[in-house]
Amino acid sequence: MLPHIALAITIQIVWGLTPSASRLILEYLPVESYSAIRYTLPGIFFLIYTLRKHGRLHVQRKHLPYLILLGVLAYAVDSLGTLYGLKTGGVLNFGLASSMNTVITA
């Protein structure tokens, strides 16, 4: 149980530091470039992991356009909006706005 608690603590620390680290990176990179890197690299790692574990992707051809649309709308547009908000509003405002997600969703 102790390794799981340590993992949970580590995840919370990394998750909490992400806006500050992103803000520092945005001083040197344009939002679009950082957004592309931010989701492309994990996507490649996830694809490699899936292919190694299962040997192939189990996506039906008819679902592929919806999957691509989901990727573009959910990740690309969301990431651009989040990073532009972080760049213009700062880390404090970003944290406050992010904490409102639960209330807005409810």
Comparing 1 with 5, the larger pLDDT belongs to 5
Query: pLDDT tens, 14-48?
Result: 877 888 888 888 888 888 888 888 878 888 888 88
Rounded CA-CA distance 13/47 in Å is 26
Residue 101 predicted with pLDDT over 70: no
For residues 96-102, average pLDDT: 71
- Predicted local confidence at residue 91, as pLDDT: 78
With tokens 């001083």, the residue in question is 27
Residue 6 predicted with pLDDT over 80: yes
Rounded CA-CA distance 75/35 in Å is 9
